[in-house]
Amino acid sequence: MLDRRRFLEGVGTAALTAAALLALASPGGLGTSPIAFIGQAEAQTVSADKLMATGPLPDIVLGKADAPVTIVEYASMTCGHCAHFHETTFPVLKEKYIDTGKVKMILREFPLDIVAKAAFMVARCSGDAKYYPMVATLFETQKTWAFGNNPAQALLTVAKQGGMTEEQFNACLSDTKLGGQIDQQAKRGAELGVDSTPTFFINGKKLSGALSPEDLAKEVDPLIGSN
């Protein structure tokens, strides 16, 4: 049986560079907390070269490679606002924009705590083809694994549902190289101006907060015109 101490030792106890800047962020408030929406002062633009430069982990692209709009999301798996976006807005994004070839999306890791880091490691260890399905499952089941007394066992249960064995799970969380790459991914996000989750870059324009379907349409529709 996995215990919390072994879990933390496996993932690593070093503080995430970016997460240290977010000490006031709370993983609570799932579902019932107020959602953080976009503020005008938060908008800024990052050049495509800087945003899409090769990072510590390969981007896993969802959608057509030549889509006219690129959305990069920095998220934490224990972030309630991120789960809200993926449960409510992401289905609209996928059906209306990604599946029609208008948008490609890239999710990048920005864990706010060690449990979120472990969840991202599980998603990466699932393989590229299962990455987004595993991310979706983790967000859908966030309340069951993210904040209990034994996140290791709860996370293992979710991993098994995705086809991972306990041996593979343990090996994944013991992968110090992958753990370091996720730490560097978070550091890279902070260097791009990410200071909360979720944060989106839509063709380089930074937007912080949980985008509603209406927020999404307001940003994306002008970029695709009448297509």
Q: 75: part of which helix (H) or strand (E)?
A: strand 69-75
Is the distance from CB of 184 to CB of 56 less than 8 angstroms? yes
Of the listed ranges 22-31, 150-159, 170-179, the one predicted with least confidence: 22-31
> In terms of pLDDT, which residue wins out, 184 or 26?
184
Q: Could you tell me if residue 163 is left (phi over 0), alpha (psi between -120 and 50 degrees) or otherwise beta?
A: left
Is the distance from CB of 109 to CB of 186 less than 8 angstroms? yes
Q: 102: part of which helix (H) or strand (E)?
A: none
88, amino acid identity: T
Is the distance from CB of 112 to CB of 25 less than 8 angstroms? yes
- Residue 10 pLDDT level (bands cut at 50, 70, 90): low
The fold of the 37-224 domain, in CATH, is Glutaredoxin (3.40.30)
- C-alpha span between 128 and 126 (Å, rounded): 7
- C-alpha span between 208 and 199 (Å, rounded): 4
Domain boundaries, the chain: 37-224
Query: What percent of the chain lies above the pLDDT cut of 70?
Result: 80
Of the listed ranges 40-44, 128-132, 183-187, the one predicted with least confidence: 40-44
| The pair of three-digit structure tokens given for residue 167, joined into one six-digit string | 């041996």
Give pLDDT tens digits for 66-100.
999 999 999 999 999 999 999 999 999 999 999 99
> In terms of pLDDT, which residue wins out, 36 or 115?
115
pTM value is: 0.83
Give pLDDT tens digits for 114-162.
999 999 999 999 999 999 999 999 999 999 999 888 888 999 999 999 9
